[in-house]
Amino acid sequence: MNLDELAERILQGDRRALARAITLVESSREDHRAQATELLDRLRPHHREALRIGLSGTPGVGKSTFVEAFGCMLTAKGLKVAVLAVDPSSARSGGSILGDKTRMERLSRDRNAFIRPSPSQSHLGGVARRTREAVALCEAAGFDVILIETVGVGQSETVVAEMSDLFLLLLAPAGGDELQGVKRGIMEMADLILVNKADGDLKPAAIRTCADYAGALRLLRKRPQDPEGFPKAMTVSAVQEEGLEEAWAEMQKLVEWRKAHSFWARNRAAQARHWFDQEVRHALLAKLETTEARAAMDELAARVAEGSLSPAAAARDLLAELDKDDRAA
Summarize as ranges the residues that interact with its own copies (CB under 8 A). Answer: 36-37, 40-41, 44, 47, 133, 136, 268-270, 272-273, 275-285, 287-288, 297, 300-301, 304-316, 318-319, 323, 326-327, 329
- Between the alpha carbon of residue 248 and those of residues 5, 60, 194, 251, the distances in Å are 36, 22, 11, 5
The secondary structure element, H or E, covering residue 130 is: helix 124-140
CB of 118 to its own copies, least distance (A): 19
Q: What is the CA radius of gyration of the chain?
A: 22
The secondary structure element, H or E, covering residue 56 is: strand 51-56
Task: Report helix, strand or coil for 104.
Answer: coil
If the CB atoms of residues 47 and 111 are measured against its own copies, the closer one turns out to be 47
CB of 201 to its own copies, least distance (A): 31
If the CB atoms of residues 211 and 320 are measured against its own copies, the closer one turns out to be 320
If the CB atoms of residues 94 and 176 are measured against its own copies, the closer one turns out to be 176
d(CA 283, CA 7): 25
If the CB atoms of residues 102 and 180 are measured against its own copies, the closer one turns out to be 180
If the CB atoms of residues 44 and 106 are measured against its own copies, the closer one turns out to be 44
d(CA 15, CA 21): 10
d(CA 22, CA 24): 5
DSSP 204-256: HHHHHHHHHHHHHHHHSPPPTT--TT-SEEEE-BTTTTBSHHHHHHHHHHHHH
CB of 289 to its own copies, least distance (A): 12
68: how many CB neighbours lie within 10 A of its CB? 24
If the CB atoms of residues 19 and 301 are measured against its own copies, the closer one turns out to be 301
CB of 143 to its own copies, least distance (A): 17
Dihedral pair phi/psi, residue 145, rounded to 5°: -130, 135
DSSP state for residue 181 in the 8-state scheme? G
d(CA 245, CA 73): 8
CB of 192 to its own copies, least distance (A): 26
CB of 128 to its own copies, least distance (A): 11
If the CB atoms of residues 91 and 322 are measured against its own copies, the closer one turns out to be 322
Q: Which residues 6+ apart lie within 8 Å of 24 measured at CB? A: 32, 35, 36, 39
Note the maximum CA span of the chain.
Answer: 71
CB of 313 to its own copies, least distance (A): 5
If the CB atoms of residues 203 and 268 are measured against its own copies, the closer one turns out to be 268
86 closest CA partner among 100, 68, 106: 100
What letter represents residue 316's amino acid? R
CB of 327 to its own copies, least distance (A): 5
